[in-house]
Amino acid sequence: MGSVWLSLANPRLIFFDPERMEGVISTNREGYKVVIASTSRLKHVKDQELLLIPLRTTGSLKKAKKLIGSR
């Protein structure tokens, strides 16, 4: 899908809990599949190995934060 689609999706890290290693990424409706597919390309951050696993998708940030809080 490429960098053009990824820039159109405009992903943003909204919330991250370093203790539980969980977070919320916000994107637009058209780009959520691109964002999910692109997470598999991330392998390292600051010389640390990384594995992102998308657990759920939801239509609102309020519900996403609620789902994170319920774990």
The DSSP element (H or E) to which 16 belongs, if any, is strand 12-17
* CB distance 28 to 9 below 8 Å: yes
Note down the domain range covering 42.
2-69
* CB distance 23 to 17 below 8 Å: yes
Pairwise CA distance, residues 56 & 67, whole Å: 9
Tens of pLDDT along the chain (71 residues) come to 667 777 788 888 888 888 888 888 888 888 888 888 888 777 887 888 888 888 888 888 888 878 877 55
Pairwise CA distance, residues 47 & 25, whole Å: 22
- Overall number of domains in the chain: 1
What's the pLDDT tens digit per position in 43-56? 887 888 888 888 88
The DSSP element (H or E) to which 38 belongs, if any, is helix 32-38
